[in-house]
């Protein structure tokens, strides 16, 4: 069995402003760095074989905080783990989108990457990780929308309607040619008084 911890990156200034980030390369903000440190402490309670991450800074920086804590030297950057491309929507808030394109802006193309395209590249990246780490335990740091679309493809019965929180952990296992999700969108490490899983 291969176990993969899918992690959404820590928070950014645009997260707080509710701006669509897409593939715009934003860094973590101070809270995002603190979230990554709390996540790293949680992950350090277990043994991990490798870390993969999107090459966008907010994900690779989150991965670096984890790797430093775990003593893992190399982070494997993979552009297939990037966030869904937002086209003209990137950098805008909901209010700005409504003002510019109307309330049904979501039905317009605007150059956005199709969900199936994001799912396809995310799935391909995870399948390559499986081949590299049979029976391994791997951390993958990526982005909310591409992770949810990838999960929709891998585990169709999973309810992905809840958006992934910053530095949340979603655990998936691959065994007997099938994927299972044993934990979705868990952020207990951000609530230290409640303990950790």
Dump pLDDT digits (tens) for 16-34: 999 999 999 999 999 999 9
pTM of the model: 0.95
Cα–Cα distance measured from residue 28 to residue 23, given in angstroms and rounded to the nearest whole number: 14
Segment 45-74, tens digit of pLDDT: 999 999 999 999 999 999 999 999 999 999
Q: Which two tokens stand for residue 167?
A: 């530095």
9 is catalytic: yes
List 83, 113, 143, 189, catalytic entry: 83
d(CA 126, CA 52): 10
Give the three-state DSSP class for 27.
coil
Mean pLDDT for the chain overall: 95
Q: What is the pLDDT of residue 197?
A: 46
Q: Torsions phi, psi of 47, nearest 5?
A: -105, 135
pLDDT value of position 20: 96
Share of the chain above pLDDT 90, in %: 96
Neighbour-count burial of 135, counting CB atoms closer than 10 A to its CB (0-12 exposed, 13-18 middle, 19+ buried): exposed
pLDDT of residue 69: 97
pLDDT of residue 193: 58
Which of 9, 143, 174, 189 is an active site residue? 9
Q: Report residues of the chain scoring pLDDT below 50.
A: 195-197
Contacts of 38 by beta carbon, 8 Å cutoff, 6+ apart = 167, 189, 190, 192
């Amino acid at each position: 069995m291969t176990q993969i911890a899918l992690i959404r990156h820590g928070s950014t200034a645009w997260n707080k402003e509710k701006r669509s980030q897409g593939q715009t390369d934003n860094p973590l903000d101070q809270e995002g760095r603190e979230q990554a440190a709390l996540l790293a402490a949680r992950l350090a309670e277990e043994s991990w074989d490798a870390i993969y991450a999107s090459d966008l800074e907010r994900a690779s920086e989150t991965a670096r905080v984890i790797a430093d804590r775990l003593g893992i030297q190399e982070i494997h950057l993979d552009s297939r783990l990037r966030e869904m491309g937002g086209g003209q929507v990137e950098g805008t808030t909901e209010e700005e989108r409504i003002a510019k394109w109307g309330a049904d802006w979501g039905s317009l193309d605007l150059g956005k990457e199709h969900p199936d395209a994001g799912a396809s590249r995310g799935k391909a990246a995870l399948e390559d990780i499986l081949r590299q780490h049979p029976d391994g335990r791997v951390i993958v740091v990526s982005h909310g929308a591409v992770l949810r679309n990838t999960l929709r493809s891998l585990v169709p019965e999973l309810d992905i309607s809840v958006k992934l929180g910053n530095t949340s952990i979603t655990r998936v296992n691959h065994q007997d040619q099938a994927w299972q999700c044993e934990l979705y969108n868990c952020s207990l490490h951000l609530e230290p008084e409640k303990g950790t899983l």
